[in-house]
Structure 1
Amino acid sequence: MALGNLFKRKASAPRAQVRADRGLLVFEHTSEVIRAEKLLKASGREIRVMGPPPEIQRGCDLVVEFPLMEKLDILRVLAEAGIPPMESVPVTGPLLAPVDLFQVKDFGDYLMVRAANMKLTVDKRNRAIVNVSGGGCPDVPYIAARLIGLTLDEAPAPREIGHTLCGYALELAYEEMVRLCSS
């Protein structure tokens, strides 16, 4: 696999593109976002967890982006599951575009993906995980010890071995790293 140009970061703003057909679900707690994401993805819906735009920073530091056409059904499913959002906001302009959770930094032979406050660094030559850092959750040292030295193919998904917000953020970084390394 030729990785030379694969990991070059595009010079773009961290905000996602504005799509008038999308909406944002705002939740009070991160645990609700995690539960909503799991439920909606399991039902085959096309959603993404993103950072909230500054104009609607209420509740936790994550929002769920969803197709507006499915709003009523999604709200019904979430209410039935006992996790209704605080509010649902249509993305109507650039100020309401969600913020991408990922930051990618290319260090030559190494690539780092940051999701929220968690960072995962991989050796691009062999896809080995060389560093896990960030967060302040008690399971971070355990997760790091389980991942460092393994390749992306060998490593367990952080969500399987961590049970905190940091483990969730590291799972997002891990999934993005796998996506980048598979392209």
Structure 2
Amino acid sequence: MDRGFLVFENTSEVIQAEKLLAKAGWMVRVMGPPPEIQRGCDLVIEFPLIERLEIVRLLGASGLDPLEMVPVSGPLLQPVDIFQRVDYGAYLMVRAANMKICVEKATGIIVNISGGGCPDVPYLAAMLVGKKLREVPSPRDIGHTLCGYALQLAFEEITEQCSPS
């Protein structure tokens, strides 16, 4: 299926648009934009190009008009993986944008949350560190900033990567 990128002015708009589109049932994902289409925001939304008109209508009705919609074609417009994964043997660390989460693989216990400079990072760390990955609230449900959003992405990735006993 052909895909496209929605390019927005800022990260807040990307977060709002992703929530709106996912709630409406579209298969979208947030990614780092290829350098050729960066316009100030360090995230884009990849979407099914065939749904372009309906997506534009939904976003427009919500006041979330993207700066541009770019079809994904050719090798130059490949998305950038926003994740960095580091396996430390007994521990797995995933970084998404500026936030990192580290889990003890054998137990699934979150041993560290770090990064960012947002005011809710200490609160997120206090709520998550020392608890099992699959038993904590979602960072998106308890965080309220870009750092909380980035931590949610890292949380989802590490949950997929780590299968605690």
Under a length normalisation based on structure 1, what TM-score does the superposition of the two structures give? Answer: 0.87
Q: Tell me the equivalent position of 2:80.
A: 99
Q: Tell me the equivalent position of 1:161.
A: 142
Q: Tell me the equivalent position of 2:52.
A: 71
* Cα distance in structure 1, aligned partners of 2:6 and 2:96: 19
Q: Could you list the runs of 5+ residues in structure 2 that have no partner in the other structure? A: none
Q: Give 1:177 deviation, angstroms.
A: 1.0
* Cα distance in structure 2, aligned partners of 1:143 and 1:173: 13
Secondary structure (helix, strand or coil) at the match of 1:108 reads coil
Q: Could you list the runs of 5+ residues in structure 1 that have no partner in the other structure? A: 1-19
- Kindly tell me the number of residue pairs found equivalent between the two proteins: 164
CA contact (8 A) 1:26 1:59 kept: no
For 1:32-47, what aligned pairs fall within 5 Å after superposition?
Answer: 32-47=13-28
**Of 61, 68, 74, the match for 1:87:** 68
* Cα distance in structure 1, aligned partners of 2:85 and 2:21: 27
RMSD: 1.2
Runs (4+) of structure 1 exceeding 6 A deviation are none
Percent sequence identity is 67
Q: Tell me the equivalent position of 1:51.
A: 32
Supply the AA of the counterpart residue of 1:96: L
Q: Tell me the equivalent position of 1:132.
A: 113
CA contact (8 A) 2:7 2:45 kept: yes
* Cα distance in structure 2, aligned partners of 1:100 and 1:21: 19
Q: Tell me the equivalent position of 2:9.
A: 28
Structure number having the greater helix percentage: 2
Q: Tell me the equivalent position of 1:177.
A: 158
For 1:8-27, what aligned pairs fall within 5 Å after superposition?
Answer: 21-27=2-8
* Cα distance in structure 1, aligned partners of 2:137 and 2:89: 25
Q: Give 1:182 deviation, angstroms.
A: 4.4
* Cα distance in structure 1, aligned partners of 2:103 and 2:85: 11
Q: Give 1:92 deviation, angstroms.
A: 1.1
Secondary structure (helix, strand or coil) at the match of 1:145 reads helix
* Cα distance in structure 2, aligned partners of 1:35 and 1:44: 14
Supply the AA of the counterpart residue of 1:181: C
| Residues 46/57 of structure 1: CA separation in 2 closer, same or farther (3 Å cut) | same
Secondary structure (helix, strand or coil) at the match of 1:82 reads coil
* Cα distance in structure 2, aligned partners of 1:100 and 1:73: 27
* Cα distance in structure 2, aligned partners of 1:37 and 1:173: 16
1:127-155 superposed Cα distances (whole Å, 9 cap, x missing partner): 00000011010110111011000001221
